[in-house]
Every structure is written in C-alpha cells, then in structure tokens.
C-alpha cells in the first residue's frame, strides 16, 4: 500500500493483486455498509458527488438525448426513472416536457433532485420508495421505464426478478424498458484491481473483485479526504446477455436490442456497457 501511495502524483494509479481461489473468503450478499445496514442504504448519501464527480447535470443532458432517441419517446410520454438518485436524467427529461416520475430509496439524493426541480420550476414527481415495491400503487401505466447506471441487480436473483417483473407491470402495452448495465466481461477482468483517483482534499481508492460463483461484482470504495476516511462497499449481480434476455422473457417482455452504450454502439466483449431495450407486447 505504501508503494501505491508513493506513486500517486496526478489522477490515477492502477494495481492488480491476484488472490488464489482457495484464499477468497466466502461473502454474504448484499454487503453491509460501515453502519451495518445493507450497502445500498449507506452508499447513496452526501458523498455521492465525490464518488461520481463525472455524473453531473451535463452527462444527464447528453444521455437524455440518447435515451429519447433509443426508445423513440413521443412528446409528453410518461416515464418512470427507477433508481433516479439526484435526478440527472429525470430532470433532463422533465425539461423536455416528458411526464416523469423518479423513484429512489435515498432521501438524501431525492432531496437534491427536489431542490433542483424547485429551483427550475419543473414538473417532476419524486417518490421515496423501494424498487422491489413496483408497480407503484395507483399509478397509470408508463410509456417507458428506465433503469440507468447499473441501478438493477442489487438484490438476490429472486428479488432482482421481482424488480424486473414490477418494471414490466408498470409499462403500458407497447411500452419499453431500458436497462443500462455493466458489461460482465469487463467486470470479470477487473478482479483484484486497485485504482487511486484524486479527489478534492485527498484521494479515492477503489478495490474491485468478481465472485464467479455468485456472479457478482463487488468493491470497496475508500474516500480519504480532509483527514477523514469513509468506506463504501458495494456489490451487484452481473448478468450476461443470455441471462438478461432469459430474465426479461420470464417477466413478459420481448428484447428488441442489446447495445454497447446509450448511444446504441454495438455490444461486444469490449463494450463499456450492456444497454438492453425491451418491449411489453
């Protein structure tokens, strides 16, 4: 670790540490955060902007354009953004006149979304809740459901399928689901990697691993800023293309396309993302 620290001079240092299979500890999922709660109840808080400094309003605006084109959204379409976080996509879509509902379990991030909405005077319905509770009671069906930036796969396989079924049931006939996931091929190759990045007042250390038995990607994100250390573990199910196609078929959706990005580039082993578009018959 001292050698890694000496190497940090600018932005990024990457190390790879190989761990023998027999030495890998058995892990219980989901991982727990520093406060003992499931990681997703600790992770999405006030440090979110330090964890993802590149995921701000500008990226939301650019990606919203790709989402609209990829789903062929008609003007005024009803859109449900599942795991909307601070609202970078929901706000961008609301600015364009879509009827957007954002769902998230983080009151902190929803508060940021609500503040931005109110500053701009936008029409945006924000709901505090768990995606496992979909469809939302009393809601009319949606023309599109979005699950962006790997907001799917946090739970057990059974619960993840429950989420997918809830998203399918939230759609009107002919409505479309967009799943934006990591490419599992890249996650498998990231096993044993450590990455240092500069942050204001310090550094962020990422430690990544891939559990081949559970088919889950996991990591520990350690913020060392302003003389304080905060640890943010995470894990999620990493689906292959055949697995996600089979899952969506089970919940009653028809996969229309699989892309390597929101911009609809080809999906292959080197693609940065796995973006799935599916339709409700």
User: Before 30, cis peptide (omega within 30)?
Assistant: yes
pLDDT at 24 over 90: no
Q: How many CB atoms lie within 10 A of CB 141?
A: 16
Q: Write out pLDDT tens, residues 106-134.
A: 999 999 999 999 999 999 999 999 999 99
Q: Write out pLDDT tens, residues 204-254.
A: 999 999 999 999 999 999 999 999 999 999 999 999 999 999 999 999 999
User: Before 135, cis peptide (omega within 30)?
Assistant: yes
Phi, psi of 187 (to 5 degrees): -65, -40
Its sign, for the CA torsion 224, 230, 235, 238, is negative
Does domain 57-184+240-279 fall into CATH 3.40.50.720? no
**How open is the CA angle 121-125-128, to the nearest 5 degrees?**
125
Over the chain, what is the mean pLDDT?
A: 93
DSSP for residue 23:
G
Question: Residue 208: helix, strand or coil by DSSP?
Answer: strand
Burial of 199 (0-12, 13-18, 19+ CB in 10 A): middle
Its sign, for the CA torsion 246, 248, 252, 258, is negative
Sequence ranges of the domains in the chain = 2-29+186-237, 57-184+240-279
103 and 136 in contact (C-beta within 8 Å)? yes
pLDDT the model gives residue 27 = 84
DSSP H/E element including 245: helix 241-250
Q: Are strands 78-82 and 12-16 parallel, antiparallel or unpaired?
A: unpaired
Helix, strand and coil in the chain, % to nearest 5: 30, 30, 35
pLDDT at 100 over 70: yes
Q: Write out pLDDT tens, residues 67-96.
A: 999 999 999 999 999 999 999 999 999 999
């Amino acid at each position: 670790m001292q050698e890694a620290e000496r190497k940090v001079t600018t932005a990024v240092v990457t190390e790879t540490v190989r761990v023998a299979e027999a030495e890998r500890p058995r892990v219980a999922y989901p991982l727990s955060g520093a406060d003992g709660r499931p990681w997703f109840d600790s992770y999405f808080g006030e440090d979110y902007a330090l964890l993802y400094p590149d995921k701000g309003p500008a990226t939301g605006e650019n990606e919203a354009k790709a989402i609209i084109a990829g789903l062929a959204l008609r003007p005024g379409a009803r859109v449900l953004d599942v795991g909307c976080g601070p609202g970078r996509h929901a706000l961008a879509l609301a600015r364009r006149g879509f009827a957007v509902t954002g769902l998230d379990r983080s009151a902190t991030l929803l508060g940021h979304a609500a503040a931005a909405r109110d500053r701009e005077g936008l029409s945006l319905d924000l709901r505090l809740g768990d995606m496992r509770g979909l469809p939302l009671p009393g809601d009319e069906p949606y023309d599109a459901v979005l699950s962006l930036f790997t907001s799917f796969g946090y739970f057990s396989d059974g619960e993840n399928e429950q989420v997918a079924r809830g998203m399918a049931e939230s759609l009107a006939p002919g409505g479309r689901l967009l799943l934006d996931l990591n490419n599992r091929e890249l996650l498998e190759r990231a096993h044993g990697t450590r990455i240092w990045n500069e942050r204001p007042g310090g550094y962020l250390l990422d430690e990544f691993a891939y559990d081949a038995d559970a088919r889950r990607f996991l990591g520990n994100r350690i913020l060392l800023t302003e003389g304080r250390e905060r640890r943010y573990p995470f894990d999620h199910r990493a689906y292959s293309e055949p697995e996600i196609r089979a899952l969506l078929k089970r919940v009653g959706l028809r996969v229309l396309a699989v892309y390597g990005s929101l911009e609809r580039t080809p999906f292959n082993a080197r693609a940065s993302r796995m973006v799935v578009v599916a339709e409700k018959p």
